[in-house]
Amino acid sequence: MADETKPCPRCGKRMILIPAGVIYPTDPPRWPHLWWCGCGHCEPGPTLREGSRAMARRAAWRAVWERANGERSV
């Protein structure tokens, strides 16, 4: 996804794209996202496929987790 921000219809500031916290067990897996703004406005976003930026972010969080737990990245 090229742009991960968009204008908020409520306050006019930039909304960001965040993971919804679930994974659809399809083949390939799909990751629902939400558009979120600090003013409290939230709306449904795209559902991204495996291999997308969502996967890259998840891999980055995994690396942080592994460092915190003294494990080696694979």
Handedness of CA 45, 26, 49, 16 (dihedral sign): positive
Read off the pLDDT of residues 8-59 as tens digits, 9 standing for 90 and up.
999 999 999 888 988 888 888 888 999 999 999 999 999 987 655 656 676 7
| Interstrand relation of 14-19 and 42-49 (parallel, antiparallel or unpaired) | unpaired
Does the model's pTM come out above 0.85?
no
Q: Quick one: pLDDT band at residue 68, thresholds 50, 70, 90?
A: confident
